[in-house]
Amino acid sequence: MINWNNLDTLASYQELLKADRVNLKEVMTGESGAERVKKYSVPMAEGLVYNYAAKQVDDAILTDLAKLAEEAQLVEKFEELYNGAVINTGEKRLVLHHLVRGQLDKTVEADGVDKRVFYTSQQQKIAEFAKKVHAGEITNAAGEKFTTVVQIGIGGSDLGPRAIYLALENWAKKNGAFKMEAKFISNVDPDDAAAVLNSVDVAHSLFILVSKSGTTLETLTNESFVKDALKKAGLNASDHMVAVTSETSPLAKSDDYLTAFFMDDYIGGRYSSSSAVGGAVLSLAFGPEVFADFLDGAAAEDRLATNSDVLKNPSMLDALIGVYERNVLGYPCTAVLPYSQALSRFPAHLQQLDMESNGKSVNRFGERVSYETGPVIFGEPGTNGQHSFYQLLHQGTSIVPLQFIGYRKNQMETDVVIQDTTSQQKLCANVAAQIVAFACGKEDENRNKNFEGGRPSSIIIGDQVNPRTVGALLAHFENKVMFQGFVWNVNSFDQEGVQLGKILAKRVLAHDTDGALKVYSDLLNI
Amino acid sequence: MINWNNLDTLASYQELLKADRVNLKEVMTGESGAERVKKYSVPMAEGLVYNYAAKQVDDAILTDLAKLAEEAQLVEKFEELYNGAVINTGEKRLVLHHLVRGQLDKTVEADGVDKRVFYTSQQQKIAEFAKKVHAGEITNAAGEKFTTVVQIGIGGSDLGPRAIYLALENWAKKNGAFKMEAKFISNVDPDDAAAVLNSVDVAHSLFILVSKSGTTLETLTNESFVKDALKKAGLNASDHMVAVTSETSPLAKSDDYLTAFFMDDYIGGRYSSSSAVGGAVLSLAFGPEVFADFLDGAAAEDRLATNSDVLKNPSMLDALIGVYERNVLGYPCTAVLPYSQALSRFPAHLQQLDMESNGKSVNRFGERVSYETGPVIFGEPGTNGQHSFYQLLHQGTSIVPLQFIGYRKNQMETDVVIQDTTSQQKLCANVAAQIVAFACGKEDENRNKNFEGGRPSSIIIGDQVNPRTVGALLAHFENKVMFQGFVWNVNSFDQEGVQLGKILAKRVLAHDTDGALKVYSDLLNI
């Protein structure tokens, strides 16, 4: 039987609070550090490795974390989730993003439908559509091929698909998989849509309108913007637009679209990159085979998350170490630092994934929790960050745990040798050096040049950013966030804080305001 | 006489610690909130306004902050700085970025040179060069006009100029000021340079190599990358490259460049957008007149920072409220949230500006301080952020102070009316609504939909993102960070944490490693 208990009621958590702290600088120095790097490493899917040698843990803490995993029934809860329990208690919904990319156990039936069949059929529909577009069987009215795809969506309909597109764009160009350029319109700021429309050839562009409910104001506004532009170009908007939406939305059967691909309420926005939300744009940009590889990488990582041995379950281990840092060590933020330009927007996606999922103050039953939940997440790619905010990470008064990501090979296979090493070697040398510098510091009599160390980090190491490794990386973080939500006993799958803004903005637009809101509205001439 | 004392030794700080806290929800509700919005507002330069009604301050706290400003001699310290004192004690340097964009008082002489004359002469040299490029008097070897400018630099040579370019790109296109497209190469990841080079026509591109010392490894590596590409295209690299560097650097008199524009050691990287570092690329992209307007906006804001009345000095007030939030209220992060797509990379620049300047643990004399210094800074444009991490900002267990930025008009003057309002009105309605929602919350019996409020924010409101307002905005934050550095008694103008990484990466590349570093190097096949 599954028990949903608050973290601070668990005996294993009380033990963890009392456990001896690890002196990171000490254990990471010299031979001891070398042993830790070899020992504190877990294989992930697709050849990735999660290495946590430079985290403030040792065998005793790991034992306590294993007990916590067991007492909090993390693997059992995950099993309930992927087998179709109503895990999203706020909105009374199933949580099925794992099913979209494969299946861990039996299929799930909901609303009288075999959901595996439903998701697979949408993938096939997208694949056929994309192939026809690539083959010139679906064209504009003049019979010319579409060359660009533009995604119109916000939040989860934008950040994840955009981050993955950017991650794979150059890989696809190098590996003959690049079919169409993709662009993204998200912000209700009219300059966002205008700038994207100015940068594309609308006559050869296909627009994907993504809104689960079919009512997201930003997205519908941007759709009108695009329709105006198509009309001004003398084009028929419905020849250029497809919808990704739920079957019950007003968009589902509209004549305004060439076709519609469906998702459902069981896949939250920030978890929807694996669904039609990511599937349509990525299949059009890179071909359905690339998208299928991406899903396979994610599914392989999901399987690892079912392992009840915490030392063989990288996302669960990562989650537990994060809880230890947040609740026992008291660190309020985490930085995500990919040493790959291809992952430039991956931190922005993880920021949504993590902060929207676990930025909660009440537990699954609506009761205020008395411990910290989700941390602030931020990050930029290295080495850029090294020349920027790393100063605070090294010498600031706050300690910020770090999540590095590094790859042995670059994507484009062009490189240059300067001072006897390639750029890729310099990139890797930097990430390795940073991990050790953060942990061990560097003593100097000049206090200004003194580094105290003791700043924890982990690293995910892979061979290359490609469809399978990106899938595995994404699933790792989705599962990490899910496990942390289980530990904190919060519902990681609703987002009432996002809903609130929508309601209030409508009041302002209806001039139904008083007090401060009225004065701010006046200041902004609304 | 100027006294450099630690914050916790100041009598006014002790008073501030004892002052009654403000119940933000209470004071921002109803008529009281409306009065605060009208009253707690300070004019900035160029028609901008800094409104702090939704911060946790009242007249009593403001009086305490004014005392702190006086006791910490903030305005006097600023005066010392712009008149040429050695404020950067770590590197024993003057701090002259204010002089580059105007002059607040007498000029500064250093190293036997009138620095005003030096900076002005470089601006003129850049302006003349840019005009010749635009007029087709300086061309490629085939006599064809350059159409693209590519900045090669990292950290301060990248983030600030890139953020400002993006801020003004669409404004320039709309207002007939767009001369050349600009691109940026920064990361040592070879895929960054390769992707940018694939996206430009190298035969018609002018490259600006930016490195003060002429020794930054990332930048020199990327320069080689670019030179290879030019050579492969059958072009003479020196016909396509200019340098921005110090007069003493190895690049200064090299034949490898068409010409060189100079900066000096008195302008730190993160403060260098106003110098030749920003000047060359922005003058080429938009014309020297636009860059001059940007400098004028910054200079106008600088003048406000000399006012000893805290209620008339927006950057000093913003700084003091930030210190109150960091040291008295104990908030570890600040989010920067511009409601303008044009400012999409402005938060990344502010992240560097703030975290690299004040992420320090020792004071100006190298002594460990016993209070918190610079916070973690992060942000994304609204409304995008609303559909992402705002969940945690509204309902998370941590309180994150917010810095909103909003404009009445968009840049491109294309807009669309949906449900009776324009997109720009929707954008403004959202930011107004968010401020009030964060402060006042929203009660609901369903605890999941309950918002406690009490989350502080300020807003900078302006008419439009244009060269002058961007200059004023940048100067506001530069001066805010400087004032906070004075309060914390840290040196905001060095960055030893950035230097460390460079040294260690070289050791890895020389295989001069042992322990953990060796094993990580092996894992990454370096």
Reply yes or no: is the peptide bond before residue A383 cis, omega within 30 of 0: yes
pLDDT < 50 regions, chain B: none
Q: Cβ A423–B525 below 8 Å, yes or no?
A: no
- Choose, from A18, A38, A92, A387, the residue flagged as catalytic: A387
Residue A279: closest CA among A344, A182, A205: A182
Q: Using CB atoms, which residue from A156, A191, A426 is nearest to B410? A: A191
Residue with tokens 């999540």: A403
Chain A hits for B432, Cβ within 8 Å: 508, 517, 520-521, 523-524, 526
Question: If we measure between CA atoms, which residue out of B420, B439, B493 comes closest to residue B90?
Answer: B493
Give which of A371, A391, A499 to mutate to test B binding, by max B Cβ within 10 Å: A391
Contact B28 A516 (CB under 8 A): yes
For residue A169, which of B218, B188, B230, B198 has the smallest C-alpha distance?
A: B198
Chain B neighbors of A186, CB-CB under 8 A: 384
Pairing of strands B260-263, A109-110: unpaired
Q: How far away is chain B from the Cα of A422, in angstroms, using its nearest Cα?
A: 9
What is the separation of C-alpha A317 from the centre of its chain, rounded to a whole number of angstroms?
A: 18
Cβ of A189 within 8 Å of Cβ of B424? The answer is: yes
Res A98: pLDDT: 96
Å between A426 CA and nearest CA of chain B: 7
Do A522 and A397 meet the contact criterion of CB atoms below 8 Å apart? no
Measured distance CA(B281)–CA(B294) in Å, rounded: 13
Q: Which residue of A has its CA nearest to B398?
A: A372
B187 contacts A418? CB cut-off 8 A: no
CA atoms of B524 and B289, how far apart (whole Å):
49
Residues sharing a CB contact under 8 Å with residue A202, sequence separation 6 or more, in sequence order: A229, A230, A233, A235, A240
Mutate to test the interface with A, among B171, B380, B422, B448 (most CBs of A within 10 A): B448
The pLDDT tens digits of the residues spanning A167-222 come to 999 999 999 999 999 999 999 999 999 999 999 999 999 999 999 988 888 899 99
Whether residues A390 and B37 touch (CB distance < 8 A) is answered with no
Q: Which of A301, A356, A380, A478 is catalytic?
A: A356
CB contact under 8 Å between A389 and B351, yes or no, is yes
Annotated catalytic residues of B are 356, 387, 502
Chain B, nearest residue to A51 by Cα: B520
Cα–Cα dist A453/A455, whole Å = 5
Count Cβ atoms below 10 Å from residue B420 Cβ, excluding itself. Answer: 8
| CB-CB neighbors (< 8 A) of A270 in chain B | 388
- Give the integer Cα–Cα distance in Å for B292 and B284: 12
User: What single-letter amino acid sits at B333?
Assistant: C
Q: Using the predicted structure, report yes or no on whether residue A502 has a pLDDT greater than 90.
A: no
Are A322 and A330 in contact by the 8 Å Cβ rule? The answer is: no
CA B352 to chain centre: 7
Most B CBs within 10 A among A362, A388, A399, A400, hence the mutation to make, goes to A388
Residue for token pair 């694939």: B198
Mean pLDDT over A409-428 rounds to: 92
Residue partners of A233: CB distance under 8 A and separation at least 6: A202, A203
A169, A283, B60, B256 from A465: Cα distances, Å: 10, 18, 55, 35
Distance from CA of B89 to the nearest CA of A (A): 10
pLDDT value of residue B105? 67
Burial of B392 (0-12, 13-18, 19+ CB in 10 A): buried
User: What is this model's ipTM?
Assistant: 0.97
Residue A105 banded pLDDT, cuts 50, 70, 90: low
Q: How far is CA B198 from CA A414, B93, B218, B233, in A?
A: 11, 41, 19, 12
Tokens coding A175:
């590996």
Contact A438, A453 (CB under 8 A): yes
Contact B390 A34 (CB under 8 A): no
- Nearest-Cα distance to chain A for B247, in Å, is 22
b/e for B17-34, b at 16 or more Cβ within 10 A?
Answer: eebeebebbebbbeeebb
pLDDT in tens, A253-301: 899 999 999 999 999 999 999 999 999 999 999 999 999 999 999 999 9
Which of B332, B428, B505 is nearest residue A524 as measured by Cβ atoms?
Answer: B428
Cross-chain residue pair A191–B342, CB shorter than 8 Å: yes
The minimal CB distance from B36 to the residues A53, A194, A516 is found for A516
Closest Cβ opposite residue B383 in set A53, A159, A218? A218
Which of B191, B442, B509 lies closest to A425 in CB terms?
A: B509
Q: Which residues of B touch A233 (CB under 8 A)?
A: none
Cβ-Cβ contacts under 8 Å, B450 against chain A: 362
Position A215 scores a pLDDT of 86
Measured from the Cβ of residue A141, the count of other Cβ atoms closer than 10 Å reads 11
Q: Which residues of B78-89 are buried (b: 16+ CB within 10 A; e: fewer)?
A: bbbbbebeebbb
Q: How far apart are CA B319 and CA B14, in angstroms?
A: 18
pTM of the model: 0.97
**Could you tell me if residue A136 is left (phi over 0), alpha (psi between -120 and 50 degrees) or otherwise beta?**
left
The answer to whether B359 contacts A392, with C-beta atoms less than 8 Å apart, is yes
Chain-centroid distance of CA A137 in Å reads 34
